[in-house]
Structure 1
């Protein structure tokens, strides 16, 4: 596990942009954490790093937004999902197990049993200061090189 401290929403956005610029087709990024811990700020940065130009917050009233960036992006917000089976009507398997784009899932812990094996989980939590956030990165073998690079990228110093 790799832990990074973000001291502001701008730092969280920058970290997201850095990460998004390095994601590849088939990547699955699971964002977990309590309300207000920065999942939407991080997702916005990731989308920007993937070349997606969009405004607004997370897709709270839409479970899935599809974007064309440098590669396709499937942005999920499953906050309102009570039962993971609700994603079956959307054909989640075609997305979650796709090798053509990136899945970015906010509130991903609500559908943990549906995750593929190769996942980059980013657990966000509150830090010491009002704007400080702790980002804990856990990744399958596929993400080891990315996490190694991130550990030396200068974030959270």
Structure 2
């Protein structure tokens, strides 16, 4: 599935639609060049789930947890990860036991330690805007794409 966002506000809105379509447990890989808007998408995702605070990329902390009442969400930015084994120090295995949503920027840095993705979101520059390509990796990911399509058609 391909989606277009011509402004950061539109990209945030797509993040909200993604959040609304997401099950309680989901692993989403976010791929795109620096500045492509991965964190902008996450901001919209979290705001749609009721988070009102600032959302920044966890570039230096690698992980930012969000407790959203009945749901948990973990935002990873692995850009500065030097070794995939470092994910063990972040408690990745414990997080996988929860009903939680994992939003993972730069997943290629965690190969071998990350759980498989349910959904890939590839963000590409398209003129001044962005094209978001959503690719399902599991039946759960396919359901997310179907639900996003349904919401956009309504």
* 1:9 and 2:15 correspond: no
Q: 1:44 — aligned with what?
A: 43
Partners of 1:123 and 1:136 within 8 A in 2: yes
Partners in 1 of 2:107 and 2:122 — Cα distance? 10
The answer (yes or no) to whether the contact 1:23–1:50 under 8 Å persists in 2 is no
Q: Which runs of 4+ in 1 moved over 3 A?
A: 152-155
* Cα drift, residue 56 of structure 1: 4.2
Aligned twin of 2:81: 81
- Structure 1 residues 112 and 138, CA, compared in 2 at 3 Å: closer, same or farther? farther
CA distance in 2, matches of 1:41, 1:15: 10
8 Å CA contact 1:118–1:142 kept in 2: the answer is no
How many pairs align?
Answer: 151
Q: Does 1:137 align with 2:134?
A: yes
Q: Check 1:99–1:118 CA distance in 2 against 1; reply closer, same or farther (3 A cut).
A: farther
Larger mean Cα displacement after TM superposition, 43-52 or 115-124: 115-124
Matches within 5 A, 1:1-157: 2-70=1-69, 71-95=71-95, 97-127=96-126, 129-130=127-128, 132-139=129-136, 140-154=138-152
Taking the aligned partners of 1:27 and 1:153, their CA distance within structure 2 comes to 19
Residue 30 of structure 1 contacts residue 122 of structure 1 at CA under 8 Å; is this kept in 2? yes
Task: Give the TM-score taking structure 1 as reference length.
Answer: 0.87
Tell whether the 8 Å contact from 1:118 to 1:141 is kept in structure 2 after alignment: no
1:88-115 Cα shifts (integer Å, max 9, x gaps): 11221222x2342111112222213333
Q: TM-score, normalised by structure 2?
A: 0.88
User: Does the aligned pair in 2 maintain the 1:28–1:119 contact within 8 Å?
Assistant: yes
Tell me, in whole angstroms, the C-alpha distance in 2 between the residues paired with 1:73 and 1:152.
24
1:48-106 per-position Cα deviation (integer Å, ceiling 9, x unaligned): 122222214211111111111140111111111121111111221222x2342111112
